Amino acid sequence: MPHAHVTGFFFHSEHFGPPHVIGVISLLVLALVILARYVYRLAGAWRRIYVGGAVLALYLNVFVGVVQAFQKLPFLSRLAPTQSEPPFLVAQLIVLAIFVVLGICAAMRFRLTTARL
């Protein structure tokens, strides 16, 4: 029997919460990335939209991964049981800083690589 792949949006939920907000933002960002790449062929400002959107989409996935790690891993959930404690904030700030640096590097490298073509 084939398996169907669906997103969490197809599962019943009693309310629209933060995971849904992140999911909607991620889908909107990915729609822009797809437009930039396949419709506008990375022309002009669409090149920056593509790079920034790709980095942002990956960041949102990692952000959710950190949230889930603090929810599900016992040693992390003891450090931040409500996810409002400093260890959770520090972890998310470190992830954000890493993605800001990687995003800047990606934008610079993508521009340099494509400029030589």
3-state helix, strand, coil in the chain (%, to 5): 75, 0, 25
For residue range 7-23, list pLDDT tens digits in order: 566 667 788 888 888 98
Q: Where are the domains of the chain?
A: 17-115
CA distances from 74 to 55, 60, 67, 78, 82 (A): 29, 23, 13, 6, 13
- Residue 60: the pLDDT is 95
> Are 33 and 53 spatial neighbours (Cβ–Cβ below 8 Å)?
yes
Q: How many CB atoms lie within 10 A of CB 51?
A: 21
Residue range 75-88, pLDDT digits in tens: 999 999 999 999 99
